[in-house]
Structure 1
Amino acid sequence: MAKFFRLFILTLLIFSFSFAEKVYLEANSIEKIDKDNIIAKGKVVLKYQDITVNSEKLIFNKTKKIIKFDTKTDIKSPKYHLIARKGWYNFETKNGEFYQVQISFENKYFIKAKKIEKQKDIFYFEKAKFSSCSFDQYDWFIYSFDGNFKKNDYLTAKNVFFFFCKAPLFYTPYFKYPTARRKTGFLPFLISQDTYNDFILKIPFYLVIDKSSDSTFTLDYRNKQGKGIDIEYRKKFSPSEYINLNTFFFKEKSNGSWWEGRNIGSLENRWLLESDGRFNLFNNTKLFLRLNIPSDKYFYEDFYNTSTLRYTSYTKSQILALTETKDFTVEINFDFLYDLSTKNNEYTLQRLPEVRFYWKERPLFSNIYYDFLSVNTNFYRKKGTRGLRSDNQFRFILSTPYKYITNSFEFIPRSTLYANVKENPEKNPSRNLVEIKDRVSSIFQKKYSNFTHNIIPIIQFNYINKVNQEKLPIFDKEDRIPAKKDIDLSLYNIFDFQNNNYFRWEISTGYTFLNEYYIGDNLYEGRKKPFRNSFIYSINSFTGENTLFYDFKKNQIVRTISSFSFPITKYFRYSMSHSFDKGEQNSTNQLLNSISANYKNISLNFSILSNIKEGYIQQKRGSLTFNRKCWYVKLDYIKDFNKTTGKSYKVITLTLNIINFSYNFPLLKPTED
């Protein structure tokens, strides 16, 4: 009855006051004070445009669109949420004044203040606290006696204190902080240590050039290595077109201990050139750029020695033009590799250029399709085998469905031509191959009350004729295509349960009419292929997968890849990954054990990577994180062992992140044993 009465009063108000823009007002009691003002009491709800006001009492001026209140009032809009004890607000001018107020902007910034005065898009405040912590966990805040806040501009404050966990940490008479994504000024500086230096200081300065471009200049000082500058430039031409340029130059002090035992003398000038870009040349043509060239092969090891980048073995620079239409795709690719693991780059193979043409699959007759792929590459290196290769293959596909059975037949003639080959027995050799594939499959499905069961049997035949390839150069694995005459049998069982749970199981084996076969890139001898058992599952919080190959001839497992993860308790989870491969030429055996724990806002992760084949622990990693959403503290532990050098790398770091600024405190200086 009361709800009906309020709706009735609301209808009368809308009708009788005839507001230019509708104001929806609902309350337990609504009274008219004069021709312009009305007073609403008890569960007041007022809606105007995208703003909603909730209060126990307010006065509304329907002519000027102003509300006044002296009791707790809640004002919501899509961008902010304000609660005040007293104040007024003008819906048309967007001006207002609020006392004993707290306001949140887009649920990112949370402010408490004695007084806030709003003039259009500027907020003026007195005795205010600012934080990115929500009001229910105000762990840190910036306190200011007075100042102003403007979105997409600056927060300016005077007499500022920074409080963390109720304790004041520092004071400044003046503070200015950008509230826009892009503002010219200094960015947070970084103080740290690494393997070589006891003290590292980086001071970045951000420069807004115009609406579509900006730059960052970072001064880099390292007490043992020297000093340098990092210059980044970014330009956006359109939503999908951009260019990023980065130049790092470092003046190094002489005779650093890190140069001991190296096959080159110490370098004074070190540098890194990087770029990344994308351009739309035409409607269907795109150009991609990538540049990554260091001054020397030890650059990443010396300047990124506290991260996994120190193990970078090569860098890649590339220019790629891609044209794609409904009928074909053309790629022109210039690849330049800088091999950091060799003495020099003279023997490193480059693709300068590689041109790929693909005529997309299309019907030839009613149920016969075809496509064509041509890959033409100029393999270049200063020393060693080099030359041109043109690899071309047609593919004819015949698909024949019959009731529950589908047969897919492919006939693939392939011709590879070489020209102007240097340092090879033949200058212009060639190779012609024919590949035949036939696949027969079916599917049987049965639905139960709680799951669906699919059974898919597959028989595959694969044939590649044997040709002599000894006189061909070797640029990559495409220069040695092994002969095949194989039959493979597979059976899939797929169980799909409710709540996205599933279990998928595959068993397969095969036979080759030759005396050898491949699993991946590894060569195995014999005719009977191993029995393959593979499954993957996700049931509630239990997940896992396993692929196992059992060789009947050798009566042993020759390859297995496994991983699983399950909860130990409500808060602890254990994960394991194992890879084992006993190939004729290469073999691996590694085990990764991991444990994780999560309790409220505390998380723990620890892992050990063991090389079982060589009998040593390759890596240990651990982290302990206390995360309060608006700030976190994290303790990291890393220990790597390099079998080649026989050295261990170890570091322990404490990271404190507040206001999205990270402060790193090395508790143990990175060392090499």
Structure 2
Amino acid sequence: MSIRTHSFLLLFSCLILWGPLFAKAAANETPLSPLATSNQTKPECLPNWIAPPQRIPDKTSLSSSQSDTLQQPNALTYKLTGNVVLKQPGLVVLSNHVRLNRQTQEANIFGQVQLHRKDLIVTGRTAHIDQQAKTAQIKHTQFQFTANRSHGTAKQVDINQTTQLAQLDDATYTTCPIVEYSWQARNGNIVTDTKYDWELDFDRLDIDNNRRRIYGYNTFLYFQTIPVFYTPYIDFPMDDRASGFLFPTIGSYRSLTRETAENYVAIPYYFNLAPNYDDTLTVLKMQDRGWVVENEFRYLKPGHSAELTLTGLNDQVTQKEGLSYIDASGQPAYGKKIDQRWRGKLIANQQWGSGLSSNLLWHEVSDKYFYTDIPVESALDTVSYTPRYASLNYAKGNLQAGVQLLDYLRLRETAPYNYEKRPEVTLNYYHPFQSGFLENTSVNLAAESTEFQISTTGHTKPEALRTVLAPSAQYNLLKPYGSLKAEIVANKVNYFMQDNGFNNTGSPEHNINVPQYALKGGLIFERDFTVGDTAMVQTLEPELQYLYVPYQKQSQIPLFDTVYKSLDFSNLFTYNRFSGMDRIGDTNQVSAALSTRFLKQDGRPIAEAGIGQIFYLADRKVTLNDTPTQTELAQNTAHMSDYFVKLGMTVGPFQFASTSQYSYHNYELTNANNRLKYDISPRFKFLMTNTITNNNLPGEQEDLAAGLNWQINDKWALGSYINYNFTQERKTEVQNALRYDSCCWASELSVKETQLDNGLYNYSIQYLIEFKGLSSVGTPFKKYLNNKLNF
């Protein structure tokens, strides 16, 4: 039997309040919220539906009701029995029996009560609705959010539409599916029961829709049916990220001169202050050193972001023993006794509009050994120094300008004294000619002024102001079959030496005027061919460049920011064999290279190879140092360079790229840079980099960095990373991790070994745990590996 009526459906309108109250609570999709939704995506990880979802009427639908029978015992009472379905826009109510009273405007719903909204499903045994009082009461309730199927229960739910309050008694919440487990009873029978991996239990849960807040009382967090956390009171917002405790990090850390590692526990608390800024306070208890307090403030809005981290402690170890370090003889030593130790870090990036932007990265510490002793930033526990900078940039059209302050924070006693830029001002203007006689021609004006200083006392290096003016003109012709480029650059470099007592250049001022002339051309040949059923394209790309740079003596100039360029195939066609502007290498040379690429028809690369060499028409005189080494002398008087080779391949999950340098005398390998990525499947990834420098020559060095992440099965994963120095035959960093990952929770144990000074190592163990849908903390090994080997 089907009927259509409007009067008694008004009695169910207050049930609509139930939906937005809890649906808003679950809309928080950040891992920082105590009631955050889970990011589960695997179908097998989704909990079962508490009731089959119903099709929800839209706003244009009419209200209706349906039941097997409709009775009217008296003039004021209606009884609907058997498969009762009540529908109105946005809401469907199912039950076995409904009794309505027109006079009191009350409804009693019995049997299998179901309430369906687009975002929420609620079931219960009975429900009572009072339209006059605008209240509703549902007993023995289950609720489930449709977005991710997270769910919970309540013994009783009381809703007051007038006050916009809902009270849930004896409530629970979880994102986990039911797990069945068996145990043997005392009588020997095998008993099967169910549990959730984790569950929040509340004595009472109050939802205030006016204040948009949720209040929990006597809250327990259960893990594997064991209570692991309790709070008598919790208060968090319905709409935004929620304040509350994050899960702790547990580990051990052995610093430079400690014979044994000390254990620590870090407990963070997250403050949700506003939608665009928040704060995390972490208290870290170290076994020997005491309490470490760290505060991280984050700010974010379109075009602006900032992150301020402050850390401090009263160090009981350095108060008694003093600061520990490695002295000049390579032995552990102790310095000044201090108790107050701290660090500050500020990262800020702003877009001010009209092409103006700024960037800031600043570190400050109480002492150079802070990061070797305190496990708060693993990226800095082994480095000798870290850069700090503040820059202001302007870009509009073809004009770019900027000013930067750059220096280095020393984190080791043996760290070098690096030159600081205080400040560096740059200006670049590019103007292309689009038509007429000067079509394909452009001019570029580059200017730079840098003040090189060392603020740290104890150095003996000269300081200076360097100005660079490098205007250039270029003709560039691009065609599908090749290219032609001619360019002239006029380099004018001036040095104004500071009178700091260490100016050993013989003059307070130096000038360098060195032009560069280059002519480069290249052709592209293509052919189509087929390998099996795969259609491919092969290119053959010869390139030739003539470069002339006259000689000017520069050996009296200090090296402020100039070194030899690192190995790269493109160095065949660079205008200067040095980086920086303290040396402009003289040359009269012809560079030649021949490359080939294998592409699929859609342009995707499969493989490439190239070989190149430079032919010198005159000896080169400019070297890095006043007294060149034998290697430099041999290179500068040779009539041709070594051979440069590049190789690359992408075949399915296998990617390989290599640049190498071979001696033109005996074809022996001298330098190489190799990268390998083997992504067999989402379950297995292997990354490797291998660098060889000056093979069989003075300053020989070979390093290997490799790592893998292996998802052994659906739950277990293994990760490993190693950085090995073959020349010194020692490991500089090793980390291994074992991760367990289920539908509802994950944990990871990692062991890390990092080399400090003089062969000494730091050892640390760290344990992370994540309850999906509640909170997470720390950096999983998979992300750590990608940061280490990012290519």
TM-score range, shorter chain: 0.7 to 0.9
Aligned to 1:355: 425
Task: Work out which of the residue numbers 314, 320, 326 in structure 2 matches 1:255.
Answer: 320
Tell me, in whole angstroms, the C-alpha distance in 1 between the residues paired with 2:155 and 2:286.
46
Aligned to 2:226: 168
Given residue 112 of structure 1, which amino acid in structure 2 is its aligned partner? T
Aligned to 1:589: 702
Are 2:559 and 1:474 equivalent residues in the alignment? yes
Q: CA deviation at 1:292?
A: 1.0
Given residue 637 of structure 1, which amino acid in structure 2 is its aligned partner? V
Are 2:165 and 1:102 equivalent residues in the alignment? no
- Residue 311 of structure 1 aligns to a residue whose secondary structure is coil
Q: Contact conserved, 2:120 with 2:143, CA < 8 A, in 1?
A: no
After superposition, what is the alpha-carbon deviation per residue over 1:12-44, rounded to whole angstroms, capped at 9, x for unaligned?
Answer: 999xx9x99521689999999999999899897
Tell me, in whole angstroms, the C-alpha distance in 2 between the residues paired with 1:109 and 1:656.
20
Aligned to 2:714: 600
- Residue 23 of structure 1 aligns to a residue whose secondary structure is coil
Q: CA deviation at 1:148?
A: 2.7
Q: Contact conserved, 2:528 with 2:538, CA < 8 A, in 1?
A: yes
Tell me, in whole angstroms, the C-alpha distance in 1 between the residues paired with 2:476 and 2:79.
78
- Residue 584 of structure 2 aligns to a residue whose secondary structure is coil
Q: CA deviation at 1:592?
A: 4.1
Relative to structure 1, the CA distance from residue 588 to residue 150 in structure 2 (aligned partners, 3 Å threshold; closer, same or farther) is farther
Aligned to 1:458: 542
Are 2:494 and 1:417 equivalent residues in the alignment? yes
Tell me, in whole angstroms, the C-alpha distance in 2 between the residues paired with 1:159 and 1:209.
24
- Residue 262 of structure 1 aligns to a residue whose secondary structure is strand
Aligned to 1:285: 356
Q: Which runs of 5+ in 2 are unaligned?
A: 10-56, 180-194, 326-331, 563-579, 623-630, 780-791
Q: Contact conserved, 2:66 with 2:86, CA < 8 A, in 1?
A: no
Task: Work out which of the residue numbers 488, 495, 499 in structure 1 matches 2:592.
Answer: 488
Given residue 621 of structure 1, which amino acid in structure 2 is its aligned partner? Q
Task: Work out which of the residue numbers 252, 262, 266 in structure 1 matches 2:337.
Answer: 266
Are 2:726 and 1:635 equivalent residues in the alignment? no
Aligned to 1:433: 514
Tell me, in whole angstroms, the C-alpha distance in 2 between the residues paired with 1:539 and 1:13.
67
Between 628-637 and 107-116, the greater mean CA deviation after superposition: 107-116
5 Å-filtered alignment, 1:244-643, equals 244-253=307-316, 254-256=319-321, 259=324, 261-262=332-333, 264-281=335-352, 283-304=354-375, 307-342=378-413, 347-363=417-433, 365-382=438-455, 383-401=460-478, 404-422=481-499, 423=503, 424-435=505-516, 436-444=518-526, 446=528, 450-465=534-549, 466-477=551-562, 478=580, 479-484=582-587, 485-496=589-600, 502-513=605-616, 514=618, 525=635, 526-566=638-678, 576-582=688-694, 585-598=698-711, 599-642=713-756
Q: Contact conserved, 1:339 with 1:348, CA < 8 A, in 2?
A: no
Q: CA deviation at 1:356?
A: 0.7
After superposition, what is the alpha-carbon deviation per residue over 1:609-644, rounded to whole angstroms, capped at 9, x for unaligned?
Answer: 3322233344332111111243212121223345x4
Aligned to 2:760: 647
Q: CA deviation at 1:510?
A: 1.7
Tell me, in whole angstroms, the C-alpha distance in 1 between the residues paired with 2:175 and 2:201.
13
Tell me, in whole angstroms, the C-alpha distance in 1 between the residues paired with 2:583 and 2:754.
37
Tell me, in whole angstroms, the C-alpha distance in 2 between the residues paired with 1:555 and 1:363.
46
Tell me, in whole angstroms, the C-alpha distance in 2 between the residues paired with 1:616 and 1:344.
20
Tell me, in whole angstroms, the C-alpha distance in 2 between the residues paired with 1:304 and 1:148.
40
Q: Contact conserved, 1:293 with 1:317, CA < 8 A, in 2?
A: no
Aligned to 1:6: none
Tell me, in whole angstroms, the C-alpha distance in 2 between the residues paired with 1:562 and 1:45.
68
Q: Contact conserved, 2:124 with 2:138, CA < 8 A, in 1?
A: no
Q: CA deviation at 1:145?
A: 4.2
Aligned to 1:131: 174
Q: Contact conserved, 1:509 with 1:529, CA < 8 A, in 2?
A: no
Tell me, in whole angstroms, the C-alpha distance in 1 between the residues paired with 2:448 and 2:58.
69
Between 469-478 and 577-586, the greater mean CA deviation after superposition: 577-586
Between 359-368 and 36-45, the greater mean CA deviation after superposition: 36-45
Tell me, in whole angstroms, the C-alpha distance in 2 between the residues paired with 1:274 and 1:70.
61
Relative to structure 1, the CA distance from residue 76 to residue 538 in structure 2 (aligned partners, 3 Å threshold; closer, same or farther) is farther
5 Å-filtered alignment, 1:37-116, equals 48=89, 51=90, 53=92, 70-71=111-112, 73=114, 75-77=116-118, 79-82=119-122, 97=138, 99-104=140-145, 106-107=147-148, 109-116=150-157
User: Which structure's residues are more often strand, by fraction?
Assistant: 1
Q: Contact conserved, 1:507 with 1:531, CA < 8 A, in 2?
A: no
Q: Which runs of 5+ in 1 are unaligned?
A: 1-8, 665-673
- Residue 255 of structure 1 aligns to a residue whose secondary structure is helix
Q: What is the root-mean-square deviation in Å for CA atoms of aligned residues?
A: 4.7
Are 2:215 and 1:156 equivalent residues in the alignment? yes
Relative to structure 1, the CA distance from residue 312 to residue 147 in structure 2 (aligned partners, 3 Å threshold; closer, same or farther) is same
TM-score (norm 2): 0.68
Tell me, in whole angstroms, the C-alpha distance in 1 between the residues paired with 2:445 and 2:404.
19
After superposition, what is the alpha-carbon deviation per residue over 1:131-155, rounded to whole angstroms, capped at 9, x for unaligned?
Answer: 2435679311122343234689554
Given residue 338 of structure 2, which amino acid in structure 1 is its aligned partner? L
- Residue 320 of structure 2 aligns to a residue whose secondary structure is coil
Relative to structure 1, the CA distance from residue 379 to residue 60 in structure 2 (aligned partners, 3 Å threshold; closer, same or farther) is farther
- Residue 613 of structure 1 aligns to a residue whose secondary structure is coil
Aligned to 1:224: 288
- Residue 351 of structure 1 aligns to a residue whose secondary structure is strand
Between 415-424 and 22-31, the greater mean CA deviation after superposition: 22-31
Tell me, in whole angstroms, the C-alpha distance in 2 between the residues paired with 1:39 and 1:528.
98
Aligned residue-pair number: 640
Q: Contact conserved, 1:27 with 1:40, CA < 8 A, in 2?
A: no
Q: Contact conserved, 2:449 with 2:467, CA < 8 A, in 1?
A: yes
Tell me, in whole angstroms, the C-alpha distance in 1 between the residues paired with 2:79 and 2:521.
81
Q: CA deviation at 1:590?
A: 2.6
Tell me, in whole angstroms, the C-alpha distance in 2 between the residues paired with 1:471 and 1:460.
34
Q: Contact conserved, 1:221 with 1:227, CA < 8 A, in 2?
A: yes
Q: Contact conserved, 1:187 with 1:203, CA < 8 A, in 2?
A: yes
Tell me, in whole angstroms, the C-alpha distance in 2 between the residues paired with 1:189 and 1:305.
14
Q: Contact conserved, 2:547 with 2:590, CA < 8 A, in 1?
A: yes
Tell me, in whole angstroms, the C-alpha distance in 2 between the residues paired with 1:497 and 1:228.
59
Aligned to 1:23: 61
After superposition, what is the alpha-carbon deviation per residue over 1:307-362, rounded to whole angstroms, capped at 9, x for unaligned?
Answer: 342113223332211122113111011223222334699x4411111101111342
Q: Contact conserved, 1:147 with 1:158, CA < 8 A, in 2?
A: yes
Higher relative contact order (CA 8 A, sep 6+): 2
Q: Contact conserved, 2:91 with 2:116, CA < 8 A, in 1?
A: yes
- Residue 645 of structure 1 aligns to a residue whose secondary structure is coil
Given residue 116 of structure 2, which amino acid in structure 1 is its aligned partner? I
Q: Contact conserved, 2:248 with 2:777, CA < 8 A, in 1?
A: no
Tell me, in whole angstroms, the C-alpha distance in 1 between the residues paired with 2:307 and 2:352.
18
Aligned to 2:783: none
Given residue 288 of structure 1, which amino acid in structure 2 is its aligned partner? N
Aligned to 2:40: none
